[in-house]
C-alpha cells in the first residue's frame, strides 16, 4: 500500500524552505506498509522516532513525572517553614489553581504545534518572525536547564530517601553529605541507563507506573491515617493544628509574605505541565492526546497530592522534631508508625515514586536537548541530534543530561540551602520558558499560530494567559527573596544567582556561535501530517547513527 501526502501549498503554516529537513509545499511523501523514511511531522522536521506511546502510557509519563504527592512530601520542609501545616495545605491549593491556568495555555499550544521542543518551539513562533528566533533560543535553554536542575533535585531526594531508609535501622549513623551524594549519583545513572537502553519499555513502564504511583499514595494515606492513636502510639494532630493554627517559625517576614514564599513547595510539586508535550513526536494524534494527558496529570496530581498532605500532617505529634530532622518526611513517617520498619516501608513507596519521576525527567530533558541540537542551537549539534537506530532514542543527548546532573550534584548536594536553591532554580527556569511562550502570544493578540483541536476560544484564551503570566512573573520575583531575615549565607536565596549565571552563559553562547547558524523552529501549526498517525518509522537521515 502506498500513500502520498503533501503539506498544504500557500497555507502559511510553515516557511518550509527554512526548516531543516522540511517538505516543500506540495511535496509528496511515500508511505509503504506504514513504514516511511521521509515523513515530515507537525513540527516541520523529519519523523525520526517511533510513536510507541498511547494516551494511557503518555498519561503515565505525566502522572509519574508529576507524581505530585512524592515531590510534595519530599520537599515538605520548604512549606513547613512557611506557616506550618495550614501553610502547606493552603499554599498547595493556591499554587495548583495558578498552574491549572498555565497548564491550559500549554495544552492549547501543544495541540496547535505538537513538537518535541514544546515551549522552545512555541516561543519561537508566538512572538512573530522578528523576535521569535531569539526568544525561542532562550526559552529552549531555560526549559532544558530547568528540567536538568529539576532532575538533580529529584536525584538528591532519591539519595536522601535511600540514606534515610538505612539510617532508620542504624540510629547511631551520622549522615554525611557524601553519603547522599554517592547514593544520588548512583541512582541518577541507573535511571539514565534505564531510559537509554530500555527505551522501548518506557511506555509499558509508565503505564504500569500509574498503578504503582496511585497505589503507593493510597497505601501511605491508609497507614499514616490508621496507625496514630492505635495501641500506645500518640494520637493524631488536632484539626486546628492542621487547618488553622499558623506556625511562626521566625522567618522575619509578615504572615502574608511568608504564605506566598511558601508556595514554592507547591510549585515544585505541580509545576511540570509541559512534561508530556516533549513526547509529541512519540504518540499518534498528539494534537488531541497531549491536552488530554495534561488534564489527567493535573487533576490526578492535585487529588492525590492534597489527600496525601492532609494525611501526613494529621500524623504529626512533635512539630519541633521535624526541623531537627535531616529529612522531615522520614520523621513524620516515624511519628506515625513509631517503628523503623514502618518508616522504611513508607519511604520505600516514596522512593519508588521518586524513581519513576527521575526516569521521566531523563526522558524529557534528553528530548529537549535533542530538539535544540537539531536546530543548531547547541555545541556539537550532530552528536546531540543522533537518534540511535537500535535504541530508537536520542542517546547522546540523554547521556549529556546525566553528565550535567552529576556535575550539579557535585556542587550542591548535602545542604538544605543548596537543595532549596536547586528547587528555586528549577521553578525560575521553567517559569521563564513558559512566560517566553505564553506572554508573546497574549501581547500579539493570539494571532501568530494556527490553533489545533484544543482551543481556548474567545475571552477565555486571553483571561487564562493573563492569569498564567501574572502569576509566573510576580512569583518569579517572590521566589528570589531570601528564606529568612536577617540574611546570612545559610538563609540567602541563591536561585536568582543561578538563574542569572546560566542566562549569561546562554547569552555568551548566542554571541560566540549560535546566532550564526541557528534559525529555530518555523512551523506555526495547522499541519495535518500522516506522520502523526504512522507509529513506526525507519531512521534514515544521512549520517545519523
Q: What's the rounded Cα separation, in Å, for the pair 102 and 472?
A: 9
Residue 321 phi, psi (nearest 5): -65, -25
The whole-angstrom separation of Cα 454 and Cα 457 is 9
Structural domains of the chain, with CATH: 55-478 (1.20.1740.10)
Indicate the DSSP class of residue 4.
E
Residue 253: per-residue pLDDT: 87
pLDDT for 165 equals 96
Q: What is the pTM of this model?
A: 0.88
> If we measure between CA atoms, which residue out of 425, 431, 534 comes closest to residue 475?
431
Q: With beta carbons less than 8 A apart as the criterion, state whether 99 and 270 touch.
A: yes
Give 49's pLDDT tier (boundaries 50, 70, 90): confident
Q: Taken in order 296, 13, 283, 426, is the CA torsion positive or negative? A: negative
- For 264, the grid coordinates are 514554592
| pLDDT of res. 161 | 95
Kindly state the helix (H) or strand (E) to which residue 3 belongs, with its residue range: strand 2-5
Q: How many CB atoms lie within 10 A of CB 450?
A: 17
In this predicted model, what pLDDT tens digit does every residue of 124-139 receive, in sequence order?
A: 999 999 999 999 999 9
Number of other CB atoms surrounding residue 239 within 10 Å: 10
pLDDT in tens, 373-408: 989 999 999 999 988 989 889 999 999 999 999 998
Give me the sign of the Cα torsion angle 226, 228, 232, 235.
Answer: negative
**Which pLDDT tens digit goes with each residue over 100-121?**
999 999 999 999 999 889 999 9
What mean pLDDT value characterizes the chain?
Answer: 85
- Burial of 27 (C-beta count, 10 Å sphere; 0-12/13-18/19+): middle
Of the chain, the percentage scoring pLDDT greater than 90 comes to 56
Contact between 472 and 142 under an 8 Å Cβ cutoff? The reply is no
Amino acid at each position: 500500500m502506498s500513500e502520498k501526502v503533501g503539506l498544504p501549498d500557500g497555507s502559511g503554516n510553515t516557511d518550509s524552505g527554512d526548516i531543516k529537513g522540511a517538505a516543500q509545499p506540495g511535496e509528496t511523501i511515500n508511505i509503504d506498509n506504514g513504514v516511511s523514511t521521509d515523513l515530515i511531522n507537525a513540527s516541520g522536521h523529519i519523523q525520526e522516532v517511533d510513536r510507541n506511546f498511547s494516551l494511557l502510557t503518555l498519561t503515565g509519563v505525566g502522572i509519574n513525572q508529576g507524581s505530585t504527592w512524592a515531590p510534595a512530601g519530599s520537599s515538605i520542609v520548604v512549606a513547613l517553614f512557611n506557616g506550618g501545616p495550614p501553610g502547606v495545605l493552603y499554599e498547595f491549593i493556591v499554587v495548583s489553581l495558578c498552574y491549572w491556568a498555565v497548564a491550559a495555555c500549554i495544552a492549547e499550544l501543544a495541540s496547535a504545534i505538537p513538537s518535541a521542543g514544546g515551549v522552545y518551539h512555541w516561543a519561537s513562533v508566538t512572538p512573530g518572525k522578528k523576535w521569535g528566533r531569539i526568544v525561542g533560543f532562550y526559552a529552549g535553554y531555560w526549559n532544558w536547564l530547568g528540567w536538568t536542575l529539576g532532575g538533580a533535585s529529584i536525584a538528591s531526594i532519591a539519595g536522601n530517601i535511600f540514606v534515610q531508609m538505612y539510617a532508620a535501622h542504624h540510629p547511631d549513623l551520622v549522615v554525611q553529605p557524601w553519603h547522599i551524594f554517592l547514593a544520588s549519583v548512583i541512582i541518577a545513572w541507573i535511571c539514565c541507563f534505564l531510559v537509554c537502553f530500555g527505551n522501548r519499555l518506557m511506555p509499558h513502564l509508565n503505564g504500569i507506573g500509574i498503578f504503582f504511583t496511585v497505589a503507593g499514595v493510597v497505601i501511605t494515606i491508609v497507614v499514616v491515617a490508621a496507625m496514630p492513636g492505635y495501641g500506645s502510639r500518640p494520637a493524631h494532630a488536632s484539626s486546628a493544628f492542621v487547618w488553622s493554627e499558623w506556625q511562626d517559625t521566625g522567618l522575619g517576614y509578615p504572615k502574608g509574605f511568608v504564605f506566598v514564599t511558601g508556595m514554592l513547595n507547591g510549585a515544585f510539586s505541580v509545576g511540570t505541565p509541559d512534561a508530556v508535550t516533549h513526547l509529541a513526536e512519540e504518540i499518534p494524534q498528539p494534537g488531541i492526546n497531549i491536552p488530554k494527558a495534561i488534564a489527567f496529570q493535573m487533576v490526578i496530581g492535585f487529588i492525590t497530592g492534597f489527600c496525601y498532605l492532609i494525611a501526613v500532617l494529621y500524623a504529626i505529634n512533635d512539630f519541633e522534631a521535624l526541623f531537627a530532622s535531616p529529612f522531615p518526611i522520614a520523621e513524620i513517617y516515624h511519628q506515625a508508625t513509631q517503628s523503623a520498619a514502618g518508616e522504611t516501608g513508607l519511604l520505600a513507596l516514596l522512593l519508588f515514586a521518586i524513581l519513576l519521576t527521575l526516569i521521566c525527567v531523563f526522558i524529557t530533558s534528553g528530548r529537549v536537548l535533542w530538539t535544540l541540537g537539531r536546530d543548531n542551537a547547541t555545541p556539537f549539534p550532530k552528536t546531540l541530534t543522533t537518534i540511535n537506530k537500535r535504541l530508537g532514542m536520542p542517546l547522546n543527548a540523554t547521556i549529556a543530561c546525566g553528565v550535567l546532573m552529576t556535575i550539579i550534584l557535585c556542587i550542591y548536594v548535602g545542604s538544605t540551602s543548596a537543595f532549596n536553591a536547586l528547587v528555586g532554580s528549577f521553578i525560575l527556569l521553567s517559569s521563564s520558558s513558559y512566560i517566553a511562550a505564553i506572554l508573546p502570544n497574549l501581547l500579539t493578540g493570539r494571532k501568530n499560530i494556527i490553533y489545533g483541536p484544543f482551543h481556548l476560544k474567545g475571552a477565555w484564551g486571553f483571561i487564562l494567559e493573563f492569569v498564567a503570566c501574572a502569576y509566573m512573573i510576580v512569583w518569579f520575583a517572590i521566589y528570589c527573596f531570601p528564606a529568612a531575615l536577617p540574611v546570612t549565607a545559610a538563609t540567602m536565596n541563591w536561585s536568582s544567582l543561578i538563574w542569572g549565571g546560566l542566562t549569561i552563559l546562554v547569552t555568551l553562547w548566542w554571541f560566540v556561535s549560535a546566532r550564526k547558524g541557528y534559525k529555530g523552529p518555523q512551523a506555526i501549526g495547522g499541519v495535518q501530517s500522516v506522520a502523526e498517525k504512522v507509529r513506526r518509522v525507519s531512521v534514515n537521515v544521512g549520517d545519523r547513527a
